[in-house]
Amino acid sequence: MSGESVYVVGAGMARFGKFPAEVTLEKMAVSASREALVDAGCRVRDIDGVYFGTVLGGSVAGQRTGAQLGLTGQPVTNLENACSSGATAIRDAWLSVKAGLHDVVLAIGAEKMTDRISGGILADASDLDAALGMIMASNHGMSARRYMHDYGATRAQIAAVAVKNHAHSVHNPYAQYQHPVTLEQVLDARPIAEPLGLLDCSPISDGAAAIVIASEAGLARLGVTGRPPRILGVGLVSGTIHDGARSVNEEDISRRGGEEAWRISGVSPTDIDFVEMHDCFTIAEIVRMEGLGLIPRGEGGMWTEQGHTSIGGKLPVNPSGGLLSRGHPVGATGVAQACELTWQLRGTAGARQVEEARTALAYCKGGTVAGTDGASVSTLVMQA
């Protein structure tokens, strides 16, 4: 794909967590945006457009956030693709620059979940599978059982994903959880959908994240010197009604999401130095990495147990802590992943830095649990 080069020149977050009602979606979004703007050396009037991802934020969340930021009439677009809403906001922000319409664009993801949701979330009120009991957790519980059966993986290998991601986010000041957990704590946690327990599940979270992206002309406008990380492409695919017919772990949608990423960005899977992966459940990290073709099928549990996906391993996954430990305010997640890619590719990720990180992938999945008619997967490729 030709067109403008697109750079990420600023990244900011509002810490993920569970906050009282007065910490509104807009306040978190403004806080994250200001941090990203300061990071980019960008004034509010330098922004050409805003793309805002949220699920629960209502119909004009981006406009209200823009007003509180002091926006002076620039275009604001709200996007919604379930748990990949933030990633989709980045995709359309990227397209607006690629198309030559905008030179400096703010992409925001935000969600205020704790005062709206208790217990698990459904993909959609009209998701019949979910209404009949096939909610997220039960689907991933079945996925884990099937994975253990098919590949002889152990429960401990799956639990090791939570241990790893919690260990990573000890060093992430924006993470909802900044303490390590032991394998025993994961195995002994309250059962949710066996074999998965509470620590195999990503939490309900509040939070926001923002990035500033720019064309070459945008770099000049902002006075950016040097070469910031670039967005090479953002893939997006939807589910098909034949997905997952043979096995819940087949992840056809992940395979296709990966193919879109490689096609649009021009990189190949072997170029990827680390991944921010949509680990809404421990087992999901494993089957999605395998679906993308980044880990051989059936080996993801073993890779995790042996440390290959830890920082310092051969393919680090979720140096940020991922959804499991950074938290999962749904609309914010995709943008938070992009923030992590930006910091890692700049080499400024501190104690959680992935060495020699040059090319990275962020993967988000939203929608119905079975990956069928209501699902979407987005794949963002960035390069230093």
- Applying CB under 8 A, among 27, 240, 293, 313 the residue interacting with a copy of itself is 240
Annotated catalytic residue within 201, 328, 339, 364 = 328
- Contact 225/113 with Cβ under 8 angstroms? no
DSSP structure class, residue 214 = E
Single-letter amino acid code for the residue at 309: T
Counting contacts by CB under 8 A, is residue 132 touching a copy of itself? no
Counting contacts by CB under 8 A, is residue 268 touching a copy of itself? no
d(CA 68, CA 75) in angstroms, rounded, equals: 15
Counting contacts by CB under 8 A, is residue 142 touching a copy of itself? no
- Applying CB under 8 A, among 59, 118, 268, 270 the residue interacting with a copy of itself is 59
Interstrand relation of 49-53 and 104-112 (parallel, antiparallel or unpaired): parallel
- Contact 35/9 with Cβ under 8 angstroms? no
d(CA 109, CA 88) in angstroms, rounded, equals: 10
CA distances from 247 to 120, 198, 252, 288, 316 (A): 24, 24, 10, 13, 27
CA angle at residue 40 from 36 to 43, to 5 degrees? 85
CA Rg value for the chain: 19
Please name the residue that has the structure tokens 């959908």: 193
- Contact 338/254 with Cβ under 8 angstroms? no
Site for a copy of itself in 72-91 (CB under 8 A): 72-82, 85, 88, 91
Residue 48 or 273: the one with the smaller Cβ distance to a copy of itself is 48
Counting contacts by CB under 8 A, is residue 239 touching a copy of itself? yes
d(CA 135, CA 371) in angstroms, rounded, equals: 12
Site for a copy of itself in 360-379 (CB under 8 A): 366-368, 372-376
Judge whether 280 counts as a catalytic residue: no
Counting contacts by CB under 8 A, is residue 110 touching a copy of itself? no
Counting contacts by CB under 8 A, is residue 115 touching a copy of itself? no
DSSP structure class, residue 359 = E
Counting contacts by CB under 8 A, is residue 139 touching a copy of itself? no
Stretch that binds a copy of itself, among 13-21, 52-60, 152-160, 224-232 (CB under 8 A): 52-60
Compute the least distance from the CB of residue 8 to a copy of itself, in Å. 17
Judge whether 339 counts as a catalytic residue: no
- Applying CB under 8 A, among 34, 44, 67, 183 the residue interacting with a copy of itself is 67
Chain residues that interact with a copy of itself, rule: CB under 8 A: 1-3, 49-50, 55, 58-60, 63-64, 66-68, 71-82, 85, 88, 91-92, 95-96, 98-101, 123-126, 235-241, 253, 256, 260, 264, 366-368, 372-376
- Catalytic residue numbers? 83, 328
